[in-house]
C-alpha cells in the first residue's frame, strides 16, 4: 500500500525542483521512452534512507555538471506502481532495485546504478560516479 501522498511529496520535490520530470503512469513512461535519440536518465525514487541520504541529493549534484543527460525523469517505487512497473519493463535484464539510476543513450542502457551501489555512499561520491558516466556518455550535450 502506498504511503500517504503528503508524506512523499517533499521526496518528489527534491528531484522536480532541479528539473527532473515526474512520470506518474504508464502512458507518461512510454511517452518519455519513445524518444530514443540522445541521452536520458531515469531515477527510480523511493522512501528509503539511501534514496534520501544519497540518491536524490547525489542526482541533484550531478545534474550541475556541464555534461548531463538531455532528458531526466523519475518514477516513485511503491507510490506510482504502474509507472515503476512500466519503466522496469524497459530494462528487462536488470533486477528490480529502488532506488536506482538508469542512463541510456539512443535508447540503449549504457549505465545502471542499483541500490547496492547507492547504500552507504554519500551524495558527493554518488554524484562523482554519475558525473563520470555523464562525461563519458553525454559529452557534447549541455544541460
pLDDT tens, position by position, 37-93: 999 999 999 999 999 999 999 999 999 999 999 999 999 999 999 999 999 999 999
The band of 140, judged by pLDDT with boundaries at 50, 70 and 90, is: low
Options 48, 52, 109, 141, the catalytic residue: 48
Please say if 50 is a catalytic residue. Answer: yes
The mean pLDDT of 8-34, rounded to a whole number, is 97
Q: Determine contact, residues 29/75, Cβ cutoff 8 Å.
A: yes
Q: Can you tell me the distance from the alpha carbon of 109 to that of 91, in angstroms, rounded to the nearest whole number?
A: 8
- Contacts of residue 121, defined as CB under 8 A and 6 or more positions apart, other chains included, come to 50, 54, 58
The band of 2, judged by pLDDT with boundaries at 50, 70 and 90, is: confident
Give this prediction's pTM.
Answer: 0.94
Please say if 138 is a catalytic residue. Answer: no
DSSP lists the bridge partners of residue 41 as: 72, 103
Matching residue, cell 563519458: 136
- Collapsed DSSP state (helix, strand, coil) of residue 118: coil
Q: What is the model's pLDDT at position 139?
A: 79
Options 50, 54, 131, 138, the catalytic residue: 50
Fold classification of 5-137 is: Glutaredoxin (3.40.30)
The mean pLDDT of 5-21, rounded to a whole number, is 96
What one-character-per-residue DSSP string does 45-79 give?
A: E-SSHHIIIIIHHHHHHHTTSSB--SEEEEEETTT
DSSP secondary-structure letter at 120? T
Q: What is the model's pLDDT at position 69?
A: 97
Domain spans of the chain, in order of start = 5-137
pLDDT tens digits, residue range 81-134?
Answer: 999 999 999 999 999 999 999 999 999 999 999 999 999 999 999 999 999 999
Amino acid at each position: 500500500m502506498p504511503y500517504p501522498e503528503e508524506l512523499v511529496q517533499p521526496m518528489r520535490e527534491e528531484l522536480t525542483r532541479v528539473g527532473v520530470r515526474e512520470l506518474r503512469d504508464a502512458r507518461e513512461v512510454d511517452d518519455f521512452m519513445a524518444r530514443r535519440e540522445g541521452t536520458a536518465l531515469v531515477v527510480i525514487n523511493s522512501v528509503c534512507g539511501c534514496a534520501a541520504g544519497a540518491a536524490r541529493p547525489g542526482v541533484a549534484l550531478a545534474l550541475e555538471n556541464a555534461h548531463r543527460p538531455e532528458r531526466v525523469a523519475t518514477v516513485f517505487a511503491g507510490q506510482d506502481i504502474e509507472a515503476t512497473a512500466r519503466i522496469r519493463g524497459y530494462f528487462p535484464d536488470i533486477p528490480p532495485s529502488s532506488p536506482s539510476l538508469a542512463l541510456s543513450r539512443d535508447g540503449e542502457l549504457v549505465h545502471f546504478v542499483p541500490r547496492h551501489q547507492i547504500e552507504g555512499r554519500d551524495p558527493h561520491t554518488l554524484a562523482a560516479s554519475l558525473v563520470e558516466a555523464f562525461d563519458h556518455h553525454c559529452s557534447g550535450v549541455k544541460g
